[in-house]
Amino acid sequence: MFKFLKFIKTYPGILYSLFLIIFIPLVFYLVTLFSVNAFQKNINSVLQTKAILAENIINVFTPGLLSQPNILERKIEQITKENPEIKKLRFIKQENGEFKIIASQDPKEIGAFISDPSLAISWSQGQATAKKIKINGTRFWRVDKPIFDPQTGKKIGIVSLALSLEQSDLLITRLIHISYAIVIIANVLILFLILQHTRLFSYVALYKKLQEVDRMKDEFIRMATHELRSPIINIRGYIEVLSEKIEPSLDEEEKEYLRRIDISAKNLGNLIDDILQVSRIQQGRLDITPKRIQPETVIKEVIKELELKAQKKGLKLVFQPREEPLYIMANPNRLREIIFNLVNNAIKYTPKGWVKIETQADKIRKKYHISVVDTGIGISAQAQTKLFQKFYRVRTRETADIPGTGLGLWISKELCQKMGGQIFLESMEGKGSKFTLIFPLAS
């Protein structure tokens, strides 16, 4: 019991499910019961009216035929043949205070005297009486009505008939069965929903655990990368000092070893920086507050920083500023980081030719385009579908010796989208690539 109460306290939504499994079938049952009762009353009333109407029709031609039983027999046969729901159609006369059957649907009872309170009531009151009876398990409306002489107005006999309710009872029974089937199906569906609901609770608990694990993982990554950063900085510092002091005394092979140590330390530092950036983005700890900035100023800063790297590879780094200054709403540091990633990648993956930064303003759609175009190795269509995923790198013969973390483009896309921008790629293997950033123009 304590465990159940604890479960309810942990997941109060289960009470809603329990309420549904009781309330919905109960509503179905009550609605069905009300509908069936109302339908049955309506059917009974209609059939009662029909029975009385049938007797009224019979009364039209009966008074003159009471003295001709043979003709009445033929009339009874004709009426019951045309109306199979009419049973026990009889014509009765009163003789010496008793009721005698003079014509009947059942020939065996012709001439018999019967004692029936319903006949006596109908005769004494001089009006039709109706009641429900049961014959061999089937319900009937039994109607008895006096027959009056049209000349004298005296009672000369009684017509009695029973109208079968079998068809209406079958219809009502079928309706009840259908209603109960609906209730059962509704119950099954609700039980299924509750099972799903219960399973959903386990998913919620699992999701919370995963969130906690994810948070702990991000916290560990943040702490670990911060701790790793200091040793890497120290290693690179010592390498720089060693290079200045002992490089003149080293041979070419030893100088190459020292250079590779420096490159490895630098790559490890870049990986740590990228992982730290990913952690900040996922935890929402990165400042992306937008400002009204002129993007060309940011582009010029990036070009100044990467110009030497491009020259060492023999590449032309081209940018032609626009004459008309235009503005966008973006965070300058984050925009600089995106453009730096794109231009740096373009330089890394372009063995010869040029890297060009282009800007274009679409004043009709109020959009500002920044494109980084290169004449590099290009990207296959298959690789383009995965290019913006974390840690994904294009693995080809040309890229085997190019260092990278596989996080730069993912970071660029995330930062771009968080600032309300978009990033697109056009590329063809062996022809180069074009990365385009689109931001809304500022007023």
Whether residue 145 sits in one domain with residue 22: yes
CA distance 40 to 24: 24
Whether residue 296 sits in one domain with residue 253: no
Please say which residue of 269, 298, 318 terminates a domain: 269
- What's the pLDDT band for 42 if we cut at 50, 70, 90? low
Whether residue 148 sits in one domain with residue 13: yes
Number of structural domains (the chain) is 3
Report yes or no on 137 lying in a domain: yes
Q: How much is the pLDDT for 394?
A: 78
Report yes or no on 127 lying in a domain: yes
CA distance 372 to 435: 5
Please say which residue of 218, 234, 269 terminates a domain: 269
| Residue 326 φ/ψ, nearest 5 degrees | -125, 155
Where in the sequence is the domain holding 225, given as residue range(s)?
197-269
Tell me what the mean pLDDT of segment 191-212 comes to. Answer: 68
CA distance 306 to 316: 11
Look at residue 46 and tell me whether its pLDDT is greater than 60. no
Whether residue 114 sits in one domain with residue 204: no
User: Over pLDDT 70: what percentage of the chain?
Assistant: 81
Whether residue 248 sits in one domain with residue 160: no
Q: How much is the pLDDT for 20?
A: 64
CA distance 240 to 142: 117
Report yes or no on 278 lying in a domain: no
Whether residue 47 sits in one domain with residue 118: yes
Whether residue 263 sits in one domain with residue 342: no
Q: How much is the pLDDT for 78?
A: 77
Q: How much is the pLDDT for 416?
A: 93
Report yes or no on 313 lying in a domain: yes
Whether residue 202 sits in one domain with residue 150: no
Length of the chain in terms of residues written? 443
> Which domain CATH number covers 315?
3.30.565.10
Q: How much is the pLDDT for 352?
A: 92
Pairing assessment for the beta strands 316-319 and 354-362 based on DSSP bridges: parallel
Whether residue 158 sits in one domain with residue 10: yes
Please say which residue of 109, 141, 164 terminates a domain: 164
Q: How much is the pLDDT for 14?
A: 59
Of 12-21, 306-315, 329-338, the least confident = 12-21
**DSSP readout, 314-335?**
T-EEEE---SS---EEE-HHHH
Residue written as token pair 């190019």: 402
CA distance 95 to 158: 12
| Residue 364 φ/ψ, nearest 5 degrees | -70, -50
Whether residue 57 sits in one domain with residue 206: no
- What confidence tens digit (pLDDT) does each residue in 244-278 have? 778 777 788 887 888 888 878 877 877 777 777 77
In whole angstroms, how far apart are CA 297 and each of 293, 304, 356?
Answer: 8, 11, 16
- What confidence tens digit (pLDDT) does each residue in 329-354 have? 999 999 999 999 999 999 999 999 99
Q: Which residues of 105-137 are buried (b: 16+ CB within 10 A; e: fewer)?
A: beeeebeeeeeeebbbebbeeeebbbeeeeeee
- What confidence tens digit (pLDDT) does each residue in 91-133 have? 888 887 788 888 888 888 888 888 888 888 888 887 877 787 8
Q: How much is the pLDDT for 67?
A: 67
Side-chain half-sphere exposure of 163, counting CA atoms within 13 A: 20
CA distance 378 to 398: 10
Whether residue 317 sits in one domain with residue 240: no
**CA nearest 69: which of 106, 107, 102, 111?**
102
What residue ranges in 232-389 does DSSP mark as E strands? 291-293, 316-319, 328-330, 354-362, 367-374
Whether residue 307 sits in one domain with residue 232: no
Q: Which helix (H) or strand (E) holds 42?
A: helix 13-61
Report yes or no on 50 lying in a domain: yes
Report yes or no on 359 lying in a domain: yes
